Amino acid sequence: MSDHTLKQKGISLYYQVETHIREKIESGEWALGSRLPTENELAQHFNVSRTTVRQAVDGMIEAGLLTRRQGSGTYVVKSPYARNRLNTQPSDTVCKYVYMPFLQDDLKRSYQNLLLTIIGHILMLHRQKLITREDGQELLRFILPLMDRHAYTIGSNPLNEDCFLNFEQYLISNLGLKLGSKILIARSRNDMTPTMMRMSVRDGLLVVYARLMALMRRILALAEENQGRVITGYTHWQPAQPITLDHYFLAIAEALERDFARLLNAYQRLNLSPLGSCAFAGTSYMIDREYTARLLGFDGIVANTLDAVASRDFLMELSADFSTLGSTIARFSQDLYLWSTAEFGYVSFSDSTSCCSSIMPQKKNPLSAEHIKSRTAHLSSAYMDIVMCLKGTVYSHSRDLFECMPPFWNCMEQMTSILELTLDMLHGIVFNYDRMERLADTNNSVLTDVSDFLERRGEFPFRSAHNIVALAISESAAKQRAGIALSDLNYISQKVYGHDTSITEEEWAALMSAHNSVSNKASEGSPSPGSCRKMFLSLRATVNRDGECLDQLLNSLQLSEQFRLEQINALMNSTAN
């Protein structure tokens, strides 16, 4: 072998070696599947050290261009069968930044669903007599054990582009081209990918449902445990009117139930099968799309074959719903976060969800609350990422669609973590009831009741009564007093209208009680005990119905799995007539 000295200045030697190896492969001098020269031979050929050669070769092995066989040497990887139209392998950069990340992500998240999709397709092909019983049995006999093996068993070579072509290469190399190619009848990556994707999204969504259901039940439990516990209600973060803790928690539970209902409603649009759409125009084979949909747990099919491969609106819908749910939880966490400050002193979090300062010994920081609030931002960002990925994309299959998945998976993971962190934070939370009630009695939040009392008695129109109370507050503030007394109110009434109010000291004392303010509320949905009890019972019934709907979804998937196993067993145990 003649020497080949590398002379390009400013470019790493190992990269120059890698470039020359690639050129030899692409020119056909080193054929696909052939063995490379040894490290010593390559070092001599390029006039570099073995370390430089090893660095170049290791990089190409990582990119999937080469493969090292123990005790045999390093070989040029064969191109996948599906790339025969192209003359060269994917570049290192494409492998590194496009194929490898998506391939690893799919193997991590969707390996089981990849196999289930292929199994369902094989069962359908046999049922429709598009493959023989023997071929179907042999294919399943090979594929079924893979369900219990590591995802990387089927290969993770980015030269094969994705998990489907890696599986195809693995299947054909083990079963031969004739039998391995049977799974390609009436199918395409274009319909297999969204089928697998919808199944994996469904798996993740079911986890979110369960976590959200647990959170709603926990908040309802907090409402029941804190019935009648008075706390100041705020508008603009200023004391407004007294409410109760159960009234507050019921508000959060009601908002979360709407979020659950939105997500549950989205399931019916997610859980439709694209399988059988092939590239996008269907197939001339007499396939049964409804059968494969049933095998894989779908409620039906995406009817139009173009829409089936092109649609990703379910990703936008779910990420938008996650963002809305995140907003509810962020606002709830913000309330608790402020209530935990020394200035409020309403709430104390468990030590297990708090952290300390490295320098200030007195600090106990609300760790979980801060992360929950901040993480909800990722949900809205993911929604916008997905919208912008799809904006301007042709309504068909294209690689643009793949870019929707990283932000969506991140969105789902963040949603799950937010729900679990919130649920964890609410276990061990402690309320300072005395401080809450004391402040509600002394921060003027009951004064709307005074205006209402004067109007109901017919003594003043409401705006006049409101004016008297407002001026009395200003008078008291000018004298640097925290609250107002009946004498302050009468002073203003005398000054503005020429007479005192008719309120007695006894009536005034009753009006100044936050407990009385809450109990006297008569309107539907108010914080009064009767109203809160009614809302609690109604919400609990609604959440229970939501739980029943979730159980029905899970039961439907279990029945589908049972049906699939029955169909597998029927094929595997069948014999020739």
- Least reliable range by pLDDT among 42-51, 208-217, 440-449: 42-51
Interval 518-528: pLDDT, tens: 999 999 999 99
H or E element, residue 306: helix 305-310
Q: Answer whether residue 566 shows pLDDT above 70.
A: yes
Question: 133, 156, 185 — which closes off a domain?
Answer: 185
Task: Determine the structural domain holding residue 175 and report its residue range.
Answer: 92-185
Q: Please, which pLDDT band fits residue 2 given cuts at 50, 70 and 90?
A: very low
Same domain, 275 and 389: yes
Overall domain count for the chain: 4
- Determine contact, residues 274/302, Cβ cutoff 8 Å: yes
Tokens representing 161? 């582009």
User: pLDDT averaged over the chain?
Assistant: 91
Distance CA 531, CA 16 (A): 78
> pTM of the full predicted structure?
0.86
Interval 491-503: pLDDT, tens: 999 999 999 999 9
Tell me the average pLDDT across 425-432: 95
Taking the CB of residue 359, how many other CB atoms lie within 10 A of it? 6
The CATH number covering residue 352 comes to 1.20.200.10
Q: Is 278 left (phi over 0), alpha (psi -120 to 50) or beta?
A: left
Tell me the average pLDDT across 312-319: 97
The residue type of 91 is S
Same domain, 97 and 246: no
- Determine contact, residues 182/135, Cβ cutoff 8 Å: yes
Q: b/e for 12-41, b at 16 or more Cβ within 10 A?
A: ebbbbbbebbbeebeeeebeeeeebbebee
Same domain, 274 and 351: yes
Name the β-bridge partners of 75. Answer: 35, 67
Same domain, 235 and 112: no
Name the β-bridge partners of 66. Answer: 76
Same domain, 159 and 200: no
In the block, residue with structure tokens 């990387």? 152
What pLDDT score does 480 carry?
A: 79
Same domain, 197 and 167: no
Same domain, 220 and 169: no
Whether 323 is in a domain gets the answer yes
DSSP string, 100-153: HHHHHHHHHHHHHHHHHHHHHHHHHHHHTTSS-HHHHHHHHHHHGGGGGS-GGG
The residue type of 349 is F
Chain centroid offset of residue 536 CA:
29
Same domain, 348 and 495: no
Question: 438, 456, 483 — which closes off a domain?
Answer: 438
Whether 258 is in a domain gets the answer yes
H or E element, residue 321: helix 313-339
Q: Please, which pLDDT band fits residue 1 given cuts at 50, 70 and 90?
A: very low
Interval 154-211: pLDDT, tens: 877 787 788 988 888 888 878 888 998 899 999 999 999 999 999 999 999 999 999 9
What is the percentage of the chain residues whose pLDDT exceeds 90? 70
The CATH number covering residue 22 comes to 1.10.10.10
Distance CA 297, CA 557 (A): 5
Whether 255 is in a domain gets the answer yes
Distance CA 391, CA 176 (A): 42
DSSP string, 323-371: HHHHHHHHHHHHHHHHHTSTTT--EE--GGG-B--SS-TT--B-HHHHH
Whether 504 is in a domain gets the answer yes
Whether 7 is in a domain gets the answer no
Same domain, 74 and 150: no
What is the percentage of the chain residues whose pLDDT exceeds 70? 95
Tokens representing 542? 């609604």
Q: How do beta strands 238-244 and 230-235 pair?
A: antiparallel
Same domain, 288 and 325: yes
Taking the CB of residue 443, how many other CB atoms lie within 10 A of it? 17
Q: Answer whether residue 556 shows pLDDT above 80.
A: yes
Q: Please, which pLDDT band fits residue 20 given cuts at 50, 70 and 90?
A: confident
Distance CA 298, CA 291 (A): 10
Distance CA 319, CA 298 (A): 21
Same domain, 279 and 393: yes
Task: For residue 73, give the 3-state DSSP assignment.
Answer: strand
Tell me the average pLDDT across 390-402: 92
Whether 285 is in a domain gets the answer yes
The residue type of 156 is S
Q: Answer whether residue 100 shows pLDDT above 50.
A: yes
Q: Answer whether residue 471 shows pLDDT above 70.
A: yes
- Determine contact, residues 319/386, Cβ cutoff 8 Å: yes
- Determine contact, residues 368/421, Cβ cutoff 8 Å: yes
Interval 34-77: pLDDT, tens: 899 998 989 888 888 999 999 888 877 765 567 788 888 898 87
Secondary structure of 226-283 as H, E, C letters: CCCCEEEEEECCEEEEEEEHHHHHHHHHHHHHHHHHHHHHHHHHHCCECCCCCCCCCC
Whether 533 is in a domain gets the answer no
Compute the residue count for the chain. Answer: 577
Tokens representing 456? 């109901």
- Calculate the alpha carbon distances from 18 to 4, 25, 57, 95, 96 in Å: 13, 11, 7, 15, 15
The CATH number covering residue 176 comes to 1.10.275
Residue 376 backbone phi and psi in degrees, to 5: -65, -20
Q: Please, which pLDDT band fits residue 304 given cuts at 50, 70 and 90?
A: very high
Question: 138, 167, 185 — which closes off a domain?
Answer: 185
- Determine contact, residues 283/276, Cβ cutoff 8 Å: yes
Taking the CB of residue 316, how many other CB atoms lie within 10 A of it? 16
Distance CA 19, CA 398 (A): 30
Q: Please, which pLDDT band fits residue 30 given cuts at 50, 70 and 90?
A: confident
Same domain, 112 and 19: no
